[in-house]
Amino acid sequence: MMRTALALALATALAGCDGKEGSGAAGNTGPREVRSNAGRYTVTFTPSPDPIPMNQLFDLSFRVASKQGSKEPAKVEVDARMPAHGHGMNRVPRITRLPDGTFKAEGMLFHMPGHWELYFDVTEGGTTERAQVDVHLK
């Protein structure tokens, strides 16, 4: 019983932060940074509105920096899913590359509270790397 109470208290204290970067009602605000799985890319992103709201549309502004110094990735996709529920978002965001080299993903929607995984898939030269960050919404 004591162990369960301690685990619950710890989980509550860490909501919105998992050692990577978190977001959401209890999480960080402002720009966040996440590296791709093989470390080739760093994605810096800011949601709008910030923090990410539940069951309301939001956008992501982001920049992709390559460790190898390449100019721009050929393709970037953004998606999210709830691994515990086995589903993703009910919407497909529209991604636009802006003239200054940044990207904007419009029409994102986290339709329920809980643990979401936000993905940035960066494809260049036939290789895709995923930058993934956990988002906890209450």
Tokens of 25: 């009602």
Mean pLDDT value across the chain: 82
Tokens of 50: 């910030």
Rounded Cα distance, 2 and 13, in Å = 16
The hierarchical CATH code for the domain 2-137 is 2.60.40.1930
| pLDDT greater than 90 at residue 99 | yes
Q: How far lies 108's CA from each of 4, 5, 61, 68, 87, in Å?
A: 35, 35, 11, 30, 15
| pLDDT greater than 50 at residue 18 | no
pTM score of the predicted model: 0.76
**Domain boundary assignment for the chain:** 2-137
111-123 pLDDT tens trace = 999 999 999 999 9
The DSSP output letter for 14 is T
